[in-house]
A and B are shown apart, each in its own frame.
Chain A
Amino acid sequence: MISRPTPSHTFHRLFIHAALLVTCFATIFPLLWMVTAAFTPNDLILAKAVRFWPDDPTLSNFMIAASRHPIWIWLWNSFLTATLITIGKLILAVPAGYAFGRMEFPGRQALFWFIIATMSFPTVIAIIPTYIAVVKLQAVDSYGAMIIPSIPYIGFYVFYMRQAFRSLPSSIFEAAKIDGANLWRQFIEIAVPNVIPAIAALSVISFMGAWNIYLWGQLVLDDAFKKTLTTGIATFADLEGADRAWGPLMATSLLSILPVLLVFLSAQRFIVDALAPGIDEK
């Protein structure tokens, strides 16, 4: 090979590592501060602009936040809505992706584009009529109002599942047909088990997205006990105004990051791999 390490090569590598280190530090800094502030007593927080370890570490911020707002109920609501939205998206997108990827039928192309085109709709476009419908149905502050309209944003999911099912070898289906498996059994017993990584990747992406739904939640969740963490935090931040209770606010924010962070870290290899195909071969 030509590329043996030369002094200039080593210098180049060192430079890239240094640049990445600085960028990473700058990127996570706002969140790092959030973590240290969450464990620092509220009256000490504004004393300095930079700290890398909590001063006088305490859990009091979590206690104060919990005494002012139902943050544990918000946590539960976030879990519930994110999980149900994810299940809903998969129930719609997986069978559709299978049919588009592996079945021949009249109108296939047109129906596929009918769904894919929705990827280009800004989310706000549907908000006004949907909100009017929610108000008319007297469904404000219900989980249904939060969950159901959030499910049909499935353009990317259908596209992605179609690619996943397409990439399966036909031979596994031939064998099943010879054994007399009907279409449903071919789907459930052969196709789905072979695309579990794709389904897992989409579940993670959907869960993280649904966990962080903000604008729609702001609109339909008004009751303090129905809010999710992300919408609750915004109310919390607004109410406190200029003299923000930074500590409790940071504690609640940290609480909202931790679950998605755990999901992301445990599945990150998946997500990186999952994003690669699909785009390359149309």
Chain B
Amino acid sequence: MRLKFRSLAPYLFVGPAVLSVAVFLYGPLIASVLLSLVDWNLLSSDIRFIGPDNYTSVLENADFRLSAWNTLLYCVVLIPAEIILPLILALMLHSVRKSPVQAIYRSSLFLPTIVAFSVAGVAWSWLFNPVNGLLNEILGFFGLPPSRWHTDPDLALLCVCVVTFWKTFGLNMLLWLAALANLPPVLREASQLDGASARLHFFTISLPLMTPTAFFISVTTFFHVLDDIVGVIDVLTHGGPAGRSSSIVYYLWQQGLQFFQFGPASAVAVIIIVLVLAITWLQFRIGEKRVHYR
């Protein structure tokens, strides 16, 4: 009897977690695959199997294509920015770690990360505000004409990038900072004795030792970017003007939950999940070769 309890015990510990994940995360995933193959909305009672029609109609849709193109632009701008700029900030913070003001710098830089998307939207729509908004005042100060910022079709995507970056860079900065703090200080002393410059030391010693963090950050930043821009788009531009700042995830959100087009929206969900899995697989393949675990 005692033996039996022992062998069952681990499953009692992990059971609730496994079950909740299965029901609330994998369940909807499977449901999305099924929904993507049928024609159905909340009000009608008949569900019609239509095979891949939702996929073809989505892939041919101009709005979807625009949002897919935009998503690529978002990734190209935001992923490098969210990896490299926080590293530069972390290096600066690390170099003043003995100063009493380091904690103040660190908390101020992390502050935007703890506010809600809606609050970020309110703060930035004031900065972008055409009447007396700060950014137009600055342009005016230099004698430049005012801009329409997030309501300008050519600038909307960039404005979303700026706000997303502002709202989310703090986490990666803290992760880099923690990695830098974990490096044994004797290494720097040794390379200093050998006459290595700070730059050479960073690229040949510190960075290779931080590859696990670099890998973790590059994988998670990809997911975060997909998720975070949706919050910013929703509070700042609603995907506009004319879809110029929409992303595929925001397109899914609009189709599914504003227009109740469950079939096409679920097709988009499946496309996204396949894309995410493919890119994650690729990242792990590259990571296996490059990451040095201590």
- Residue numbers of A with Cβ under 8 A of B are 1-3, 13, 16-17, 19-21, 23-24, 27-31, 33-34, 37, 46-50, 91-93, 95-96, 98-100, 103-105, 108, 111, 114-115, 118-132, 135, 148-149, 151-155, 158, 183, 187, 208, 211-212, 214-215, 218-219, 229-231, 233-234, 237, 246, 249-250, 253, 256-257, 260-261, 264-265, 268, 271-273, 275-276, 279-282
A-B pairs under 8 A by CB, number: 274
Contact with A along B204-222 (1 / 0, CB 8 A): 0000000011001001100
Distance between Cα atoms of A264 and B151 in the complex (Å)? 34
Are B123 and A275 neighbours in the complex by a CB distance under 8 Å?
A: no
Contact of B28 among A49, A128, A273 (CB under 8 A): A128
Given A31-B123, A125-B32, A126-B25, decide whether A260 and B166 contact each other with a Cβ distance below 8 A.
Answer: no
SS of B interface (majority):
helix
Contacts of A123 in B (CB 8 A): 227
Are B95 and A16 neighbours in the complex by a CB distance under 8 Å?
A: yes
Some 7 contacts from A to B, beta carbons below 8 A apart, are A2-B193, A46-B131, A121-B276, A125-B29, A128-B266, A154-B21, A233-B122
Are A27 and B108 neighbours in the complex by a CB distance under 8 Å?
A: yes
Given A27-B166, A129-B32, A272-B178, decide whether A215 and B108 contact each other with a Cβ distance below 8 A.
Answer: no
Distance between Cα atoms of A237 and B124 in the complex (Å)? 12
Greatest chain A CB density within 10 A among B9, B21, B93 is at B21
Are B35 and A128 neighbours in the complex by a CB distance under 8 Å?
A: yes
Contacts of A31 in B (CB 8 A): 111-112, 115, 123
The 3 closest A-B pairs by CB, nearest first: A276-B178, A99-B13, A129-B31
Contact of B178 among A135, A148, A275, A281 (CB under 8 A): A275
Q: Which of B52-60, B62-70, B73-81, B230-238 contacts A (4 or more CB under 8 A)?
A: B230-238
Q: Say yes or no for B179: interface residue by CB 8 A criterion.
A: yes
